[in-house]
Chain A
Amino acid sequence: MNATQQANNLVVNHLPGQTWNWLKMNDARVAVDASAAPLEAQITVPEGLREGGALVPIGGGMGPDYDRWIQQDAAVKAYETAEGQKVAEPLKLTYALAGGKTAAAACRIDAKAGSELTVIMDFAGQPEAQPGTAAFSTKLHLAAGAAVTLVQIHRSGAGQRILNDVGAVLEENAKFNVIHLVMDGASTYVGCQADLKGDQSSFNADVAYLVQNEDLLDTNYVALHHGKKTESRIISAGVLRDRAEKLFRGTIDFKKGAAGSVGNEKEDVMLMDDTVVNKTIPLILCAEEDVEGNHGATIGKLDDALLFYMESRGIDVDDIYEMIAKSKLEAASRLIPDQAVREDVQDYIEAHQVQKQ
């Protein structure tokens, strides 16, 4: 191993409120190469969007260790909207993952006041790809009244390790929507943090995943409520099967002064095999009186009443589970605003994802 290949041990996905160490949920440890090759994307830039924009430091869900590491080598693309510009077509970045050497890419979005933009990132594994690590960082600044929807599609194929960090700062009345679809990948680490700095800003995260084989999914979603009357909503739904392992961290953090804010988070996990490991830790941290925070989680097998209903319609139990598993991914895929991408993803789900054993 030469100097550039020496491993770094990154501590990522820190739980904002620490708990017992024996649960092994406080953070994740990831060994990475000391350096990475720039990972270029196939990019479709819509009319009305231009390259450039301010590169202010923005924290992400993966944490500062990861930020320091990826900033060294990542291929950086930066875009900005014009003030009040509603960009009709999405910005599309497709990363063809061939595996092999660790590769990294970063994207910066500067959404000016009153502008609207959709960004679609496709982490797509190549046929015959070698095992490897691909690392991503997406940082966004949403000025007053800006609205950005970020869609990230994980379909890297077997054998790939994906590190995916998202961080956003929202000014007054800004709206940030994230759609995460995790359909495969040997190990996937996702951190996503939205700093609701401006009053009445809002953050929505819709997450859907299927983790199977011996794959791992480790996530950390954080909504920091700083502004007044801010809103967050984190909805995660997924399926675990085979010997898969998943850890969902979700945090609603009401800072002092965030009066009138509301935060909701929910996770719904269906377990399809007896060898899966599911970990869930939904946090509400609260330093403000005038707020409303709710979280809920349901974990386990399919609801008996639903199962009974569908069985009474003559559907086999295994088929019912397959249908429900697929529906969780499809539900999230329907939120993708671009029709062509949406249909492509739905075809992928149909063809590759949920197959009866």
Chain B
Amino acid sequence: MSKEKTYVEDVDRSLYDFRYDESDKDFYKVESGLTPEIVEQISEEKNDPDWMRELRLKSLEIFNEKGMGQWGPPIDGLDMNNIVTYVRPKTKMSANWEDVPKDIKDTFERLGIPQAERKSLAGVGAQYDSELVYHNVRKEVAEQGVVYTDIESALHGPYADLIKDHFMHLITPHDHKFAALHGAVWSGGSFVYVPKGVSVEIPLQSYFRLNAPGAGQFEHTLIIVDEGADLHFIEGCSAPKYNVANLHAGAVELFVGKNARLRYSTIENWSKNMYNLNTKRAKIEEGGKMEWVSGSFGSHVSYLYPMTILNGEGAQMEYTGITFAGKGQNLDTGMKVVHNAPHTTSVVSAKSISKDGGISTYRSSVVVNNKAKGAKSSVSCASLMLDDISRSDTIPAMDVRTQDADVGHEAKIGRISDEAVFYLMSRGISEEDARAMIVSGFADNVSKELPLEYAVEMNNLIRLEMKGTIG
């Protein structure tokens, strides 16, 4: 069979690219750049407790001392002197959409957030630039003792000590340069506490929208799922495209208690001027389970590797992820897992698609420490190259320090199989449809892990429309 090339249409971003001009009348913002004065100003603005102010200033020192690693995609286009680290809409956070300013409310309406809340969510947090503008949790969920609020409120309420005991303990400012940056200028994000034995039947969602050009978003998500509890948390993010660099350096710290379960799903669709340098980390206690579901579609450059520390006996982790790198995108994604206790297990299924000059890199590490007797890890990654101007790399590392472990890894890189196309065509399917079916099927393992509404959104996002064959 002759080898033909398939043209796959780019993701349609019109849904996400609308924007409103932000006037100074409606928004408060700090100067661009990063100085101790700006950090103090943010701290003052947010009425931080003393320990938080000290953490910010210490983090800034670490940021200034730390260099960049030599291993990832270039971030030369990111100049911190041009990034505004704090932009606050001049409105209070509300639990009623009617109280949210019209432009902002319209933004979230167009993104379908209030509708989703009514239909399928137990609670919603909506962040616009640096602050949450809406936060609400269903009454029956709140009555179970579930806490879902913004971090700032939690810092000054009855959970202040809990925040202090966990905030940036899992991800410390020393981890890397952008963790330090986050520590210095973080703002917004959500705090979730699920009490012992409570199962939250439907998901909570936080949606992060960065509207201001040349701004950074540094939200902090802190989730504690106590012993025997169960939660599905969904994170969505998007931004309109600008000609200047935007930066996202959020942090997600997840604590999963004994025999608890947390599923953390992300559909990331930042605009293609975004540097997405995000850090996510979870610590899992005995018998607990962490499930990551991750779809990475947006950003100009991404560094994203959710890390799981399996800290208690029998703790488990599953990671299911897909990355779609198109024109102008360099998406470096993957995961890290540390087996730190006996009989821990990790199962990873990662996929990537590269097209139209896009670069996707799968990067991972599986570390099995000496005390992780009986640990098992299985990693599978597959990459699809849709043309010969794109690039796809696979860089998986394994470090095993006990005899009593079973670690397996497999990876494949290739193109759409001619044999599979031929088979489908022999069943009466057109070549165009056959190719579309194969590419859609490639992403299927992620979409089937999402609630229906989000699977539909993801499929819309991919919009792998086959326009015919060329070449």
A residues contacting B by CB (< 8 A) are 17-21, 23, 25-26, 254, 256, 259, 269, 271-301
Contacts and interface: CB of A to CB of B under 8 A. Distances in A.
Interface string B346-371: 00000000000000010101000010
B385 interface: yes
B382 to A, nearest CB: 10
B403 A297 contact: no
A167 B378 CA distance: 33
A296 B398 contact: no
A293 B413 contact: yes
B249 to A, nearest CB: 18
Contacts of B410: 294-297
Given A25-B397, A279-B397, A293 B407 contact: no
B395 interface: yes
B411 interface: yes
Interface of B: 3, 5, 69-71, 361, 363, 365, 370, 383, 385-388, 390-415
Contacts of A296: 408-411
Contacts of B5: 289
Contacts of A283: 393-396
A18 B399 contact: no
Most buried by B among A289, A290, A295, A296: A289
Contacts of B394: 283-286, 293, 295
A278 B71 contact: no
A274 B372 CA distance: 11
A30 B363 CA distance: 27
A276 B70 contact: no
A147 to B, nearest CB: 28
8 contacts: A19-B395, A23-B399, A271-B400, A274-B403, A281-B398, A286-B385, A286-B413, A301-B406
Nearest to A271: B403
A288 B395 contact: no
B387 A19 contact: no
Interface majority SS on B: helix, strand, loop or mixed? strand
B406 A20 contact: no
A303 B387 CA distance: 40
Given A20-B69, A20-B71, A279-B397, 10 more contacts: A277-B400, A283-B395, A284-B411, A286-B385, A289-B386, A290-B415, A291-B385, A292-B414, A293-B414, A299-B408
Closest 5 CB pairs between A and B?
A18-B71, A293-B413, A299-B407, A271-B403, A289-B388
A280 B363 CA distance: 13
B397 A21 contact: no
A274 B385 contact: no
A301 B374 CA distance: 10
B282 to A, nearest CB: 18
Nearest to B3: A290
Contact of A299 (B370, B386, B392, B400): B400
Contacts of B412: 292-294
Contact of A300 (B365, B396, B403): B403
A277 B401 contact: yes
A23 B411 contact: no
A286 B398 contact: no
Nearest to A245: B401
A17 B397 contact: no
A301 B3 CA distance: 43
A21 B403 contact: no
Given A271-B400, A277-B401, A20 B365 contact: yes
A254 B388 CA distance: 11
Contacts of A254: 413
B71 A21 contact: yes
A78 B290 CA distance: 59
B385 A289 contact: yes
A298 B407 contact: yes
A259 to B, nearest CB: 8
Given A296-B409, A299-B405, A289 B397 contact: no
